[in-house]
């Protein structure tokens, strides 16, 4: 089994063509079934960036973190990524793959679809194409009109951001809790970092990123670019 080294491990992590994943991964197939159930337009996706991080595809002995643009990229273990189409001109002009860090944004499927289709994040107070104004979701702090991301999926996948949806697989006939997180590139210097705001207290959210550095916020809409949709399925009892 191929193990990424310090020189080429990032290519391995980002492009399925570089990996030696199992030819058919049951977990990846199951996540793909869930994604198809959402009925997103197939033109949104780029299979070159598909990558499964289940324990069979990304071994426990492999690195939990990779250094990207002088920042920590926390591997989304247990998740499966489906690559999104990213504007080529944008990536070349802003040097996104070489200069922007990796962050995560947890949300619900409808919001994720809107972000991906319209190629932008909206801030509370902005209007959608249908004229509806974006509001702060119930239970969130009022008056905080920002885009929120995190350097760790452990924080972005918290239920207050990433509410599980029930999904019954036609393949297994089992019911799963499905969660969606957008994997993004984010421009350094365009955001601020602050402690968690979900009331975790002294309970560590991520074993890698401390609680006082897990939340990123910005008002610069163009500084966050999604390039993958991450899916996690958890079988219900």
**Model confidence at 18: pLDDT above 50:** no
User: How confident is the prediction for the chain on average, in pLDDT?
Assistant: 87
User: Residue 125 and residue 136: Cα distance in Å, rounded?
Assistant: 9
Q: Give the mean pLDDT of 70-86.
A: 96
Neighbours of 91 (CB within 10 A): 16
Q: Residue 10: enclosing H or E segment and its boundaries?
A: helix 9-14
138 touches 124 (CB < 8 A): no
Fold of the CATH domain 12-235: Phosphoenolpyruvate Carboxykinase; domain 3 (3.90.228)
Residue % of the chain over a pLDDT of 70: 81
Q: What is the C-alpha radius of gyration for the chain, rounded to an integer number of angstroms?
A: 17
CA angle 109–155–116, rounded 5-degree value: 30
Total-model pTM: 0.87
Q: Residue 176: enclosing H or E segment and its boundaries?
A: strand 175-186
Q: Give the mean pLDDT of 178-191.
A: 97
pLDDT tens, 127-162?
566 666 565 555 445 556 789 999 999 999 999 899
Residue % of the chain over a pLDDT of 90: 72
Q: Give the mean pLDDT of 12-30.
A: 70
Domain range annotation of the chain: 12-235
> What is the per-residue pLDDT for 17?
46
> What is the per-residue pLDDT for 4?
43
* Confidence label for 13 from pLDDT (cuts 50, 70 and 90): low
């Amino acid at each position: 089994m191929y193990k990424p080294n310090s020189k080429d491990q990032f290519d391995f992590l980002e492009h399925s063509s570089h990996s030696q994943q199992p030819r058919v991964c049951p977990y990846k197939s199951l996540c793909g079934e869930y994604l198809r159930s959402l009925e997103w337009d197939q033109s949104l996706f780029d299979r070159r960036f598909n990558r499964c991080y289940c324990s069979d595809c990304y071994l426990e002995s492999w690195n939990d973190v990779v250094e990207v643009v002088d920042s920590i990229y926390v591997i989304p273990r247990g998740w499966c990524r489906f690559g999104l189409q990213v504007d080529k001109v944008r990536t070349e002009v802003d040097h996104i793959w070489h200069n922007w860090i990796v962050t995560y944004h947890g949300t619900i499927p409808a919001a994720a679809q809107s972000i991906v289709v319209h190629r932008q994040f909206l801030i509370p107070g902005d209007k959608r194409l249908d004229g509806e104004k974006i509001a702060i979701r119930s239970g969130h702090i009022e008056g905080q009109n920002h885009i929120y991301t995190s350097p760790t999926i452990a924080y972005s996948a918290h239920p207050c951001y990433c509410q599980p949806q029930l999904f019954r697989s036609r393949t297994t006939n089992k019911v799963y809790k499905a969660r969606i997180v957008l994997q993004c590139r984010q421009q350094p210097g365009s955001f601020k970092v602050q402690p968690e705001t979900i009331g975790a207290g002294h309970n560590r959210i991520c074993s890698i990123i401390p609680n006082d550095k897990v939340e990123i916020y910005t008002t610069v809409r163009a500084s966050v670019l999604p390039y993958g949709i991450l899916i996690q399925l958890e079988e219900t009892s």
